[in-house]
Amino acid sequence: MLDIVYFAWVRERIGHPREQVETGAATVADLVAELRARDPRYAAAFADPAVLRVALDQDLADFTAPLAGVREVAFFPPMTGG
């Protein structure tokens, strides 16, 4: 099981702050593709992954990074308000 945490407008679009998923995704990009296919909320949240960042077990990573051994994936955008 993989813990996924969503921040800011990613959370807002998906509708919840965290969830556990059973996945065979090998990389972050594979996981994103899986999530996008779920329903329109996920498709909207991940419409343009280039504006998002991802952290694996609290370490900033690329979308090409492998998920083997990872317990938590966090997706977040740059926040911009001041």
Partner 1 sequence: MDGHIFDPEGRYARHLILPEIGPAGQARLNAASVLVIGAGGLGSPVLLYLAAAGIGRLTLADDDVVSLSNLQRQVLHGTARLGQGKTVSARARLADLNPEVRIETHAIRFGVETAVLVAGFDLVIDCTDNLAARHLLNRACVAAGVPLLSGAIAQWEGQIGLYAPGLGGPCYACTFPEPENPPPAQSKGVVGALPGVVGARMALEAIKHLTGAGQSLLGRLWMIDTLWNEERLLRTHRRADCPVCRGKGAAC
Q: How many CB atoms lie under 10 A from the CB of residue 63? A: 15
Q: What are phi and psi of 71, to 5 degrees?
A: -100, -35
Report if residue 41 touches partner 1, rule: CB under 8 A: no
Binding pattern for the stretch 54-73 against partner 1, x by CB under 8 A and - elsewhere: -x--xxx-------------
Tell me how far, at minimum, the Cβ of 12 lies from partner 1, in Å: 8
Report if residue 19 touches partner 1, rule: CB under 8 A: no
Tell me how far, at minimum, the Cβ of 17 lies from partner 1, in Å: 4
Q: What are phi and psi of 75, to 5 degrees?
A: -110, 135
